[in-house]
Amino acid sequence: MMAALARATHGLEQREVGRQQVFDTIRTAGRIARIDIARETSVSPATVTAITSELLAAGLIEEIVPEGDREGAKRGRPRVALKIRGSAHLMAGLKISDRSATVILVDFEGNTIGEYDEPLPGPVMSPEELVTLVGQALDGACGAAGRSRSEISGVGLGLSGQIDAARNFVHWSPSLDARNVHLGQMLAAALPFPFFMDNDANLVAMAEQLFGEGRNTSDFIVITIEQGVGMGIVIDNQIYRGERGCGAEFGHTKVQLDGALCRCGQRGCLEAYVGDYALLREANIRSGALPEEDLSLLYARARGGDAMAQSILDRAGRMFAMGLANIINIFDPALLILSGEQMAFDFLYSDEVLARVRASVVQVDAALPEIRIHKWGDLMWAKGAAAYAMEGVTAQTIKGLAANEA
Amino acid sequence: MMAALARATHGLEQREVGRQQVFDTIRTAGRIARIDIARETSVSPATVTAITSELLAAGLIEEIVPEGDREGAKRGRPRVALKIRGSAHLMAGLKISDRSATVILVDFEGNTIGEYDEPLPGPVMSPEELVTLVGQALDGACGAAGRSRSEISGVGLGLSGQIDAARNFVHWSPSLDARNVHLGQMLAAALPFPFFMDNDANLVAMAEQLFGEGRNTSDFIVITIEQGVGMGIVIDNQIYRGERGCGAEFGHTKVQLDGALCRCGQRGCLEAYVGDYALLREANIRSGALPEEDLSLLYARARGGDAMAQSILDRAGRMFAMGLANIINIFDPALLILSGEQMAFDFLYSDEVLARVRASVVQVDAALPEIRIHKWGDLMWAKGAAAYAMEGVTAQTIKGLAANEA
DNA sequence: ATTAATTTTTTCGAAGATCAAATTAAATAA
DNA sequence: TTATTTAATTTGATCTTCGAAAAAATTAAT
């Protein structure tokens, strides 16, 4: 039997919470004066002074030299803004897709330091091959950016599939030829980095939280589209992962009883209606070319008036809308972010689809949840991985802060 | 812009958290010694002593006089168990159904003190009528139990529909002829009780948390069936309600594109396939008798081999399984509780349906979420309402505890 | 019986942490 | 220059938790 009912915060841990809170406030704000940190967090200025001097001493944050222009300030001692010290840590984010391993190096503020793309021999690897590949990709990224391996404080790794982030365990991933892989242990044994891995959609949610549309919202949901459809759930500023770490399987929610066959072997999954392979299957296009090219062909046909192509995209849109409406009906979120890097899936983000979503939601006389479409660059996934690593390294660093001042 | 990133616990609030934690531990355990509270909560024995003496002084808990039989004890000072003091508060739970207002009176331990049922003139009322009715029902319950109104410390009120529990506001309820009612304000103006209201499914979830299957689980989901289909989501020991308080609308998630017409005016809602009216509609049974009787007729026909009746129930079961599978795919909960009072819906809780659910969930090589069927007595709903009131009164009492010892 | 051992609970003092109030710092306005 | 204003820091009081020691209440052993 376990209790752990209320999250307790006794004694030594109390300051840790304060440090994390102040740090997060600074990161969310970008640059902010102590007095405003106090106001936002309802912590007294005295305590903010104490905490910020710890963080300053540890090199996690820095003061901004006041510029000449103090806009709007009347009188009084000028506020000195604080910000995250970018050079405090170098983080790496790594996303494995079916084609390549994409690496991004970011500083502790989230600024991109370097990018790198390592092509894969094939879409599916053995765990050992993946470990090797991760090492190569990181070396490649360091080389390209003129940094040394040893500078990296943490590596975030994003994989499709069912990942148990708490245990760095892969239940299943389309990138791996084995199930139930303790990938975290293998990586730790082979490479000298602290690794943080998770399902790729969760990582995008974290990127939205740290750098994107979710910066000022404590509860929101992110939907991603790539090969499949993914979801990241943020509740009370935390990624919700479920018991075994394999929740948020939006792509495999069923939208049709005994419906279309999905790659997962079941029928009626949303992915079996909106995934690229599903569209091509229905259109009966199999040129052998890259999927994107085939998809472009399908879009072109639809725009050109081809009734069959239009019908395929239309149904996909309707199914997608139905899935989104279900998510809203279940979560009633403040914010739903449709996060994507490709224009390819524009038809799923169309006004028509959104209108359908709004019409399929339980109607009350209160503003509907906000639906925001966020189109990132092509490094979105890798940046999410970096964001996750940042969070992990930050938590560890803050925990380890000794209060040793002279 | 608001931050409030980490839940802060500074200064004076810290003890409050401790008190709540200790209190919850005692309630969950039923009876437990101080030393075990310390072990379970990771709070030091010294602090447990301090907190429990506060709670004892406030009369919220009491020591159990040690009985003769100390099982298994070897030596040493005998542990003295603590428990919630039942007589500390009298709580009322009130559930409005389409036929009657059911009241339950419980003591602070959750023991039933009295029950009462006030028939309704009709299924739909004006807000004013509902307020009057609530007063009558409470008076009736007090009279039947030989208690006085003034003894009641708090009243929980459960309504179907979209309720914003944080604001005691009714977006919509099938029991009311008006939308957007500030029912909490009206009740507070007319009656001298502290009211706590919420969607009825959330209240059942709370009853499961305090008294039922969810007592030892921090994250679980409750599905209820009554007229409609309801859901309560417990994440990190808290009911998740969504931004506007109208999430968890499981009954109106869509299971079929452009499907059957639902009472809500939309198409393809789960409720439009498994609700009693939906079954009768499809069976084309309209005897004018009570729905239960018509339903019994339908079940009898199905058991008797009537293919049409079997087909109707079969499809309802398949749709229900699909909905449940979606919930599991989204939440990956540790525990899913199918909570019900009526045997009428047995076909939805059948092994066949559960097998279908398990087959429709994303497959990983880890134990599936536990699905537990919990059949309560007919006061389940009212008890949930009482549980909610208990939680509210407990939190307020604990907050107001002055640390005044001599 | 008396003493020792054991286990639970309480007491006491030290170590932190937060906060209000006072103080210091750094600017503008008069 | 001097007053005013605002930000940041310092100081002292209050609270809280915890570890260690003490007290309490038993059983086991002699």
Of A8, A28, A40, the CB nearest to B21: A8
Nearest to B369 among A42, A243, A359 (CB): A243
Residue A106, H or E segment? strand A100-107
**Strand C contacted by B47 CB (< 7 A):** no
Among chain B residues, CA nearest to A171: B364
Q: What are A339-358's pLDDT values in tens digits?
A: 987 656 678 889 999 999 99
pLDDT band at A76 (very low <50, low <70, confident <90, very high): confident
Name the pLDDT band for A224 (thresholds 50, 70, 90): very high
Instruction: Give me the CA B79–C1' C11 separation in Å, rounded.
Output: 18
Residue nearest to nucleotide D28 (CA to C1'): B75
- Which of B39, B239, B363 is best to mutate for the A interface (most A CBs within 10 A)? B363
**Which whole number is the average pLDDT over A44-48?**
96
pLDDT recorded at residue B5 = 27
- The predicted structure's pLDDT at residue B288: 66
Gap from B266 CA to C17 C1', Å = 55
Among candidate residues A214, A129, A41, A396, the one with its CA nearest the CA of residue B4 = A41
Which residue's structure tokens are 């359908």? A356
Q: Chain B contact for A12, CB < 8 A?
A: no
Size of chain B in residues: 406
Q: What is the pLDDT of residue A11?
A: 44
* Residue B71 confidence (pLDDT): 67
pLDDT digits (tens, 9 = 90+) for A261-296: 998 899 999 999 998 888 889 888 776 667 777 888
Distance between CA atoms of residues B349 and B353, nearest Å = 6
What does the pLDDT read at residue A71?
66
Q: What is the full DSSP assignment across A13-61?
A: HHHHHHHHHHHHHHHHHSEEEHHHHHHHHT--HHHHHHHHHHHHHHTSE
Residue A228's pLDDT is 83
* pLDDT tops 80 at residue A405: no
Contacts of A170 in chain B (CB under 8 A): none
Instruction: Give pLDDT, residue B43.
Output: 95
Span A314-334, pLDDT tens digits: 999 999 999 999 999 999 999
Distance CA A305, CA A390 (A): 48
Q: Is the CB of B34 under 7 A from strand C?
A: yes
Q: Which residues of B touch A326 (CB under 8 A)?
A: 253-254, 326
Task: Supply the pLDDT for residue A277.
Answer: 85
- What are the pLDDT digits (tens) for B273-293? 998 888 889 888 776 667 777
What pLDDT sits at residue A14? Answer: 84
- Picking from A158, A110, A163, the residue whose alpha carbon sits closest to that of residue A134 is A158
B127-165 as b/e, with b when 16 or more CB fall inside 10 Å? bebbbebbbebbebbbeebebeeeebbbbbbbbbbbbbb
Average pLDDT over residues A31-53: 96
Residue A399 has pLDDT above 90, yes or no: no
Judged by a CB distance cut-off of 8 A, whether residue B46 touches chain A is: no
Predicted confidence at residue A7, as pLDDT, reads: 34
Read off the pLDDT band of A8 (50, 70, 90): very low
Residues in chain B with pLDDT values less than 50: 1-9, 11-12, 403-406
Task: List beta partners, residue B63.
Answer: B82
pLDDT band at A406 (very low <50, low <70, confident <90, very high): very low
Residues of B in contact with A268 (CB under 8 A): 322
Q: Which residue is nearest to nucleotide D24 (CA to C1')?
A: B77
- Enter the pTM of the model: 0.92
| Stretch A25-37: mean pLDDT | 96
